[in-house]
Amino acid sequence: MLKTIFRVLAIIAVLLTVFPFLAADAWYIRMFDYPHVQLTFLTLFILLIYFFKFEYKNWKDNIFLTALIICLIVQAIKIYPYTPFAAYEVKPSTQKENKLKIYIANVLQKNKEHEKVIQQIEEKDPDVFLLTETDQKWLTAIQENFKKEYAYRVEVPIPNTYGMILYSKLDLLNPKVNYLIEDSIPSIDTKLRLANNTLIQLHTIHPKPPMPQESKTSKNRDAEMMVVAKEVLNDDEIPTLVMGDFNDVAWSTTTTLFQEVSKLLDIRKGRGFYNTYDANSFIMRWPLDHVFVSEEFRLSTIELLEKNGSDHLPVYLELTYEPQHKEEQQKDNPSKEEMDDAEEQMK
C-alpha cells in the first residue's frame, strides 16, 4: 500500500515536471512554473524513500526510479543558476561611487499598514522607489510623507490592484505611462539621470498573472514582457533597468525568453532565490518581483526586507554604474528562433 502511494506521488512529480514545458498558456498549466523549488525537494524526497525503503522486484520499479532521477536532474538544472554554487550573472561592484539605490514593493492594495512601508522607505532612503497595487489611499499616504523629498514622480493610482507609483530623487526625463496590452494595466517608461549625469532607460511593469480570477491564460502577461524586451533590444545603446512585479518566476520559459531577447541580466543568479511571494507562507514562496539590468551595472547589495502587511516581501538593492567593465558580463544577441518566439507571443 505504501509503495503504491509513493508511485502515485512519483507520477504526480513527473507530470508537474513536464507541464511547464508544454506549449500551452492556460492558467492551469502555467501555474506549475511557480513551485519549481518545492517540486524539486518533493521529487528528491520521493526518490530517497523509494530507493531506501522498497525492494526492486520488477521492471516497474526501474521505470519509476529512472523517471524520478531524470525529473530531478531537469528540475535541478532549472534552479541551479539561482543557487550560491552558480556564477554571478551580475558581478559584484568594484567601486562605491555612481551608486543607485532602489526599493521595490507590491504593497497589496487592501493593506492598511501604510506606515510600515513608509518606515522601510525612510530607513533605506532609496534614490528611486517603485510601489505596485497602489490606489488613491496609498498615493495620499505616500504623498504626505515623500512629496517634498522626491521631486520627480509618476503617479498612476488605480483601484483595480494594478496601480503604480514611481518616485525618484533623480531627474526623470519624458516619463510616459503606457498601456501596452490592456487599457487597465499601466507600465512606465522614463529616462533617469544618474548622479554622474548619465542617462539610463527605466521600464516598470506589473502584468496580470495566469490565474482564473485574473486571466485564464498567460497570453497578455507574456506579450507585455516580450514588448518590453524588444524595446530594450532595439534601444540597446542606452543602459537599461526593467523592474516590477512580473507575476512570473525567474526560471520560467517566458522570463528566460525575456532575458534572451532583451539581453538583460538577472541580479539573482549566483546569489539566491530571494522569494518575494507569498510573504504569508513559509513553504509556498517564489520570486515574482524582479530587477533586470544591462551589462553596465554591477550589484553592491540586495536584500529582502521584513513583512510590511503585504503578501509580497519588498526588495532593496544597490547598483553601481560601471560601463568600463561591461564586456565582462555582456550577453550574446538573441537567436532567430528566440526572436520568432517573442514575435509569436506578441501576436
Q: Where are the alpha helices (DSSP H) in the chain?
A: 2-18, 27-30, 36-53, 59-79, 114-124, 136-146, 219-234, 253-262, 336-346
Highest mean pLDDT among 5-9, 30-34, 171-175: 171-175
Q: What mean pLDDT comes out for the span 298-312?
A: 97
Return the SS3 of 285.
Answer: coil
| pLDDT tens digits for range 234-262 | 988 899 999 999 999 999 989 999 999 99
The C-alpha angle 95, 97, 102, rounded to 5 degrees, equals 100
Q: What mean pLDDT comes out for the span 286-312?
A: 97
- Span of 53-57, 94-98, 292-296 with lowest mean pLDDT: 53-57
227/237 Cα distance (integer angstroms): 18
Q: What mean pLDDT comes out for the span 260-282?
A: 96
CB 32 within 8 A of CB 19: yes
| Predicted local distance difference test score (pLDDT) of residue 23 | 65
Q: What are the extents of the domains in the chain?
A: 2-82, 99-346
C-alpha dist (Å) from residue 197 to 138, 190, 200, 237: 31, 15, 10, 16
303/287 Cα distance (integer angstroms): 13
Amino acid at 67: A
| Predicted local distance difference test score (pLDDT) of residue 146 | 95
Which is more confidently placed, 10 or 174? 174
Residue 133 DSSP class: S
Mode of pairing for the β-strands spanning 265-266 and 172-178: unpaired
Angle, helices 59-79 vs 2-18, to 10°: value is 40
Quick one: which H or E segment has residue 105?
strand 99-106
pLDDT surpassing 80 at residue 164: yes
Q: How confident is the model at residue 55 (pLDDT cuts 50, 70, 90)?
A: low
Highest mean pLDDT among 55-59, 311-315, 342-346: 311-315
What nine digits make up the cell of 228? 518590453
**Beta bridge partner(s), residue 93:** none
Return the SS3 of 14.
Answer: helix
- Span of 5-19, 86-100, 244-258 with lowest mean pLDDT: 5-19
Quick one: which H or E segment has residue 297?
strand 297-304
- Span of 8-17, 110-119, 127-136, 221-230 with lowest mean pLDDT: 8-17
pLDDT surpassing 70 at residue 1: no
Q: Which CATH class is domain 99-346?
A: alpha beta
The C-alpha angle 241, 247, 250, rounded to 5 degrees, equals 65
- Phi and psi torsions of 2, nearest 5°: -60, -40
- Residue 77 C-beta-side C-alpha neighbours within 13 Å: 7
Q: Where are the alpha helices (DSSP H) in 35-105?
A: 36-53, 59-79
Q: What percent of the chain has pLDDT over 90?
A: 68
pLDDT surpassing 90 at residue 311: yes
Residue 332 DSSP class: P
pTM metric for this prediction: 0.92
| Predicted local distance difference test score (pLDDT) of residue 326 | 93
Q: How many residues are recorded in the chain? A: 347
**Beta bridge partner(s), residue 68:** none
